[in-house]
Structure 1
Amino acid sequence: MTASYTGRDRLSETVLNTLKRVPRHRFVPENLLDRAYQNRPLPIGFGQTISQPYIVALMTDLLEIEDDHRILEIGTGSAYQAAVLAELAETVYSIEIIPELAETAKGRLKALGYTNIVTLQGDGYFGLEKEAPFDGIIVTAAASHIPPPLVAQLKPGGVMIIPVGGPFLTQELIRVRKKADGSITSEQLLPVAFVPLTGGP
């Protein structure tokens, strides 16, 4: 259904196998366990959601992750997307602005044995300059624009996947590429619906 937007009529087997390995039921509230594997977003509290499995898979696939990559995620949420990324990348840095979600995610990832995810509580709009540059950046909430600090922290040759648009307007999933010479290209991929990115200037 989304092939006409993304140019991909299938997801990579590597990404699909990764989703099979990550236990999504460990990332949803207990009262929603019976819906954990439905292809739909689910509320996780504080006005936030865990994205539907298809969107997680698509955004992961579009990042073109290699096993030596360092990935920055903006919006840890339940940490499901971070866990999927960590199965593919060398290191994942994940920033969550809501303290309670950040703390819960940190404990959950520790319990599941993930050692290559660094979780931080803070404003993801500004990225993580001390660990930059990153091979890939993924933003799991809709921004009104592409944050300049994230563009600056993307490595030449790197990819950023970000939904852009207002909370009550059409949002577009955008892929940003930084070329070897530092120039930027962006392309709109498909319409999406995400909770809004908070923080920023």
Structure 2
Amino acid sequence: MAARNLKNATIALLVPLPSIAFFLFFIRAHSDAAGGNAVFSWCYNHPFLLANVLFFFNVNILFWIIGLIQSNNWMIDLYWTVIPVMLVHYYASHPMTVKDGLRSAVVIVLTWVWSVRLTHNYFRREKWQWGQREDWRFNEMRRQYGKQWWWVSFFAVYFSQQIFLIGICLPMYAIHMSDKPWDRWDFLATVACIIGDSYSLLCRHTTP
């Protein structure tokens, strides 16, 4: 059990490195005036599409392959709490970003608070183990699709998550592609986020 926990922890910590390494290399190359490169030029001009490409290869394909090897799709649940944090920093640091500093700082802090709370809930549910189990819905679908599950899982578990996660993180993209200053709507949205997170935390601690 301890060996499996250590192995899964190592996998979970290593899997985002391809996307991180590529993005850092792109940032450095761009700052070194390598914008003439067609690939880097595309990466610069299409931050939203680049996020989707990185997600497709690093999450959809890599996570799917690991899930097939382990016969367990546990990792996508854990990364639901991590990918929004990665996306908000990606949008904030992309060379094409045009942002208001206050709006950017607030959304980064709120995303981290949300992620820490949800990550704590995840590990508490899993008895502080990495990859203890996969979502019960995936188990149901595994039984339902039988021998076809190996390819169905790519779409049901991973590709669908790209649509959900990239979709719910669209406000992060909008905030970092506009220099619109902080206004009352930002204040109301911030208050709503804080209330929602506080309510979730309160329910977690009061539920028997």
Structure 2-normalised TM-score? 0.23
State TM-score, norm by structure 1.
Answer: 0.24
Higher helix residue share:
2
The structure with the larger Rg is: 2
Q: 1 or 2 for the larger relative contact order (CA 8 Å, sep ≥6)? A: 2
Greater fraction strand: 1
